[in-house]
Structure 1
Amino acid sequence: MGGKTLFDKVWESHVIDSSLEKPLLFIDLHLIHEVTSPQAFSKLKEHGRSVRRPDLTFATADHNVPTKDRDNIRDLLAKKQVEFLVDNCKEQGITVYDLDHEDNGIVHIIGPELGLTTPGKTIVCGDSHTSTHGAFGSLAFGIGSSEITHVLATQTLPQSKPRTMNIHLNGTVPEGVTAKDIILKIIGEIGTNGGTGYVVEFTGEAVTNMSMEERMTICNMILEAGARSGMIAPDEKTFDYLKNKRFTPTDEDWEIAVRNWKQLYTDPDATYDQSITIDINELTPQVTWGTNPGQVVSINHTIPDPDIHQETSKRNAAKTALEYMELEALTNISNVNIDKAFIGSCTNARIEDLRSAAKVVKGYKVKPGIQALVVPGSYHIKRKAEKEGLDQIFKKAGFEWRDPGCSMCPGMNPDMAKPGERVASTSNRNFEGRQGKGAQTHLVSPAMAAAAAITGHFTNVQNWNYKDRGDQENAAIS
């Protein structure tokens, strides 16, 4: 019998009944938020059911909440959704991190930082970017409202077994290149359907050298290649990150947990259904130009000509994207000006993201006429950033410093772009209207978004003039 992949080990340890058309999985952790849970709670009440394991369910308000003036939610639907979440959680005995709670934040950020996310777990949430948690060696994926109801009622979920894919990153990460650039490169290479039907395991020296925050970024966005989820085998970095978190085991239980977690790796003789190697030795910062994350180029390149595509569907999609984005083919992406810069989202709102952006910002000013927002992913991150003085760097430069939330990413709260406004965004999707009707979104890393806010256009941070002092004015930047 052949070896097993990391995915196989987690999957098989959670199958309750494999005789069904869809195997029934036990779910270790269920995360919920205010937008996709109301229908599920209503359905539960309709059938006279209660939550099966409230101790394994945790809730937060993040998607449609304001990131300033939080005590006054003006959108009546948003206000009602938050109230409905809180009331139902209290009624069912579920822990809920409301807007004024010190642990409030984006659902995929608070899970890891509180230690709810640990290796080997099955984790679900009514949000497609649940795959973020796979960075810890868990099997994590998004579910719909009917599935949320099923998990609330039974703590189980019927699931078809996905196939496995290995994406091996060959080489070392160049200076100035981030996990965001790597995952955008991957999606550009394999396409937005390249991972459909697969759970992807990331391997390679570059992955080993990544911090946990960087690993979360690539697992977060593999969804944009159509994958069911992303996974990375846990290692000493994983254990160091999780040690002494609020919900992780302690003392002897910790030692036992680590011994078990160390078994979560792909066996040397295991095989994947598909394997891909991507070289990142020469990778440069990436910028999307179109209306999906796969339409991406290097900061040093031009926007591609749609006619390079032999397939009619791809050629037409590129033309449509350029028309929506109001861009011309063969334009240098570095010549594209922006109106807004957004640093935040479950992809890039962790402390390391804010540090990298602050390093770029220090000593500079946001270009007049550009609105720039920094939205920490949680109150824990916000407090840590303020303790380090990052908020002062941003505010002195002209950035707005906000309270945590999904903010501009989903386009369902006050932080939306206006029609025709071009946004340098650290979020995960650049679909038409994603950040507001008619908004034009370009996905970039936090450092790249910060640089664009200062220069007014997309700029290669590999050539950035970093300043040590915070009292200098803008200088010429190549």
Structure 2
Amino acid sequence: MAQTLFDKIWNTHIVKNIEGGPSVLYIDKHFIHEVTSPQAFTGLNKRGIKVFRPQQTIATADHNVPTLNQHLPIKEELGRLQVEALIKNCAEHGVELYGLGHPFQGIVHVIGPELGITQPGNTIVCGDSHTSTHGAFGAIAFGIGTSEVEMVLSTQCLMQTKPKLMRINIDGALKNGVVSKDIVLYVLSKITASGATGYAVEFAGSAIRSLSMEARMTICNMSIEMGARCGMIAPDETTFSYIKGRKFAPAGAEWDKKLAYWKTLFTDADATFDKEITLDAADITPMITYGTNPGMGIGVNENIPTLAEVNDNDKSGLEKSLAYMGLQQGHPIKGQKIDYVFIGSCTNSRIEDLRMVASFVKGKHKADNVEVWIVPGSKQVEKQAIEEGIDKVFEAAGFQLRQPGCSACLGMNEDKIPAGKYCISTSNRNFEGRQGAGARTLLASPLSAAAAAVTGFVSDVREFLNN
């Protein structure tokens, strides 16, 4: 019987099917961080039990950590208490922790792939919605709640209902200045922020296959913003080359064995999906959001929609979003003045992202009215950026290279955007208050963010590129 990629992985991880209910699913890798794990460990301690398979759990500190002076005590009390709890819990339960100061510390969805922990065919969970990032490797990866974190810690299993399946095909060649972040924002603009609710989404097509692993991670990262349970891309030679030789990747005979299995992980030609969508890569231009959900995006040269252009169900949402954002319906987004640029988050903080920005800004300088934060996704990314001289390029451009963490993706740590200020962000969410109370967020690619940093307003990066 023909199977999809999702089917092949799901079916081999079922421990038990509950009649009329969910399946008990075995979990290969469990990532934890300081925000959603303390309550789960408290639950274990109250029951007097230990982590069932600690070698399959990996911990790091990322969400609520400072990105300046990480060698000093954390100033914010909540962040300090959460990090202290993580250190204590990991020590008591024998869980590997990459905390502040460790050479492997970083955003949980950055360190898993770069260390070779994330592998095809795995089931991967974390108490964080953007766990879908790991699906770029041909894995079933999704976020879970705190009670589910406790369940995985105690049993290495999870009860899950199988989602419906969707395939989004994107074929053709990308135009100059268009990168993976533009692809996923374009998809969101077409299907909306709820268009994949209840589905596991496989991204396919020639445009997807042409992408690097880091670019694929950006797309799967934001599959959750479509309402999807997870996003995934079938592994191929690009995937295998990326994994080989990494710290925790298989080696020798074990590599050969794993590689033979990984090569079976693709959707069979006659397998069917509950829904399929096909888009043309040639239609995609540099994208930017104007509203308060990631589906409210347009091409940089387009005008903000008017009430007459949206259906009745969306009219009140558009009015509310534009009121919060201080933008006008029907007006162009290009030329909108901005105050901050944030390049980072689990969406766009990898070395390729930093290289892309450095290549663009070399020899240029930021606009006087803009503050620019570059936050690498991990200590390894930071180290590589310094070794390649990228830090010097940023310094000359007036950009601030900070230390690894989730930073201004979410208003949880010290890196907040002030109320009323506009920030072009390479992160994944633009909800009201996401980057700080009253902050106004416009999501874009690293290239588009770099262009705005230099000009001081929303710009079409293609005007600066050699066509």
TM-score (norm 1): 0.96
Once the two structures are TM-superposed, the CA of residue 369 in structure 1 deviates from its matched residue by 2.5
Once the two structures are TM-superposed, the CA of residue 350 in structure 1 deviates from its matched residue by 0.5
Once the two structures are TM-superposed, the CA of residue 108 in structure 1 deviates from its matched residue by 0.1
Question: Does the aligned pair in 1 maintain the 2:342–2:424 contact within 8 Å?
Answer: yes
Partner of 2:244: 243
Name the SS of the counterpart of 2:334 in structure 1.
Answer: helix
| CA distance in 1 between partners of 2:220 and 2:24 (Å) | 24
1:328 aligned onto 2:366: no
* Per-residue deviation, residues 68-89 of structure 1 (Å, max 9, x unmatched): 0212311111101001001110
| CA distance in 2 between partners of 1:405 and 1:364 (Å) | 26
* Per-residue deviation, residues 197-226 of structure 1 (Å, max 9, x unmatched): 100001100111100000000000010000
Counterparts of 1:148-227 in structure 2, within 5 Å, are 148-227=149-228
* Per-residue deviation, residues 38-87 of structure 1 (Å, max 9, x unmatched): 11001111111110000000000000100002123111111010010011
Partner of 1:43: 43
Partner of 1:469: none
| CA distance in 1 between partners of 2:186 and 2:50 (Å) | 45
Counterparts of 1:30-429 in structure 2, within 5 Å, are 30-70=30-70, 71-311=72-312, 313-429=313-429
Unaligned runs of 5+ in 1: 467-478
Question: Does the aligned pair in 2 maintain the 1:24–1:158 contact within 8 Å?
Answer: yes
| CA distance in 2 between partners of 1:336 and 1:195 (Å) | 31
One-letter amino acid of the structure 2 residue matched with residue 315 of structure 1: K
One-letter amino acid of the structure 2 residue matched with residue 122 of structure 1: T
| CA distance in 1 between partners of 2:44 and 2:410 (Å) | 27
| CA distance in 1 between partners of 2:205 and 2:115 (Å) | 28
Once the two structures are TM-superposed, the CA of residue 93 in structure 1 deviates from its matched residue by 0.5
| CA distance in 1 between partners of 2:152 and 2:353 (Å) | 33
Name the SS of the counterpart of 2:32 in structure 1.
Answer: strand
Question: Does the aligned pair in 2 maintain the 1:121–1:138 contact within 8 Å?
Answer: yes
Once the two structures are TM-superposed, the CA of residue 19 in structure 1 deviates from its matched residue by 2.9
Once the two structures are TM-superposed, the CA of residue 370 in structure 1 deviates from its matched residue by 1.3
Stretches of 4+ aligned residues off by more than 6 angstroms: none
Unaligned runs of 5+ in 2: none
Name the SS of the counterpart of 2:319 in structure 1.
Answer: helix
One-letter amino acid of the structure 2 residue matched with residue 192 of structure 1: A
One-letter amino acid of the structure 2 residue matched with residue 397 of structure 1: A
| CA distance in 1 between partners of 2:123 and 2:84 (Å) | 28
* Per-residue deviation, residues 432-463 of structure 1 (Å, max 9, x unmatched): 00000000000000111111011010111111
Moved more, 115-124 or 328-337: 328-337
Question: Does the aligned pair in 1 maintain the 2:177–2:465 contact within 8 Å?
Answer: no
One-letter amino acid of the structure 2 residue matched with residue 125 of structure 1: C
| CA distance in 1 between partners of 2:225 and 2:209 (Å) | 22
| CA distance in 1 between partners of 2:209 and 2:179 (Å) | 14
Once the two structures are TM-superposed, the CA of residue 278 in structure 1 deviates from its matched residue by 1.1
| CA distance in 2 between partners of 1:366 and 1:331 (Å) | 25
| CA distance in 2 between partners of 1:87 and 1:103 (Å) | 19
| CA distance in 1 between partners of 2:307 and 2:175 (Å) | 29
* Per-residue deviation, residues 282-325 of structure 1 (Å, max 9, x unmatched): 311000000001101101111111221232x3011011100000
| CA distance in 2 between partners of 1:399 and 1:95 (Å) | 34
Question: Does the aligned pair in 2 maintain the 1:33–1:107 contact within 8 Å?
Answer: yes
Partner of 2:6: 7
| CA distance in 2 between partners of 1:410 and 1:319 (Å) | 24
| CA distance in 1 between partners of 2:201 and 2:233 (Å) | 9
| CA distance in 2 between partners of 1:232 and 1:306 (Å) | 36
Name the SS of the counterpart of 1:45 in structure 2.
Answer: helix
One-letter amino acid of the structure 1 residue matched with residue 80 of structure 2: K
* Pair 1:193–1:465, CA change in 2 (3 A): closer
Across the aligned residues of Structure 1 and Structure 2, the Cα RMSD in angstroms comes to 0.9
Give aligned pairs, total. Answer: 464
Partner of 1:17: 16
| CA distance in 2 between partners of 1:285 and 1:19 (Å) | 46
Once the two structures are TM-superposed, the CA of residue 170 in structure 1 deviates from its matched residue by 2.1
Question: Does the aligned pair in 1 maintain the 2:171–2:208 contact within 8 Å?
Answer: no
| CA distance in 1 between partners of 2:374 and 2:42 (Å) | 35
Question: Does the aligned pair in 2 maintain the 1:308–1:315 contact within 8 Å?
Answer: no
Question: Does the aligned pair in 2 maintain the 1:407–1:413 contact within 8 Å?
Answer: yes
Counterparts of 1:413-452 in structure 2, within 5 Å, are 413-452=413-452
Name the SS of the counterpart of 1:214 in structure 2.
Answer: helix
| CA distance in 2 between partners of 1:129 and 1:447 (Å) | 22
Once the two structures are TM-superposed, the CA of residue 465 in structure 1 deviates from its matched residue by 5.2
One-letter amino acid of the structure 2 residue matched with residue 27 of structure 1: I
One-letter amino acid of the structure 2 residue matched with residue 11 of structure 1: W
* Per-residue deviation, residues 394-425 of structure 1 (Å, max 9, x unmatched): 11111111000000001111110010010000
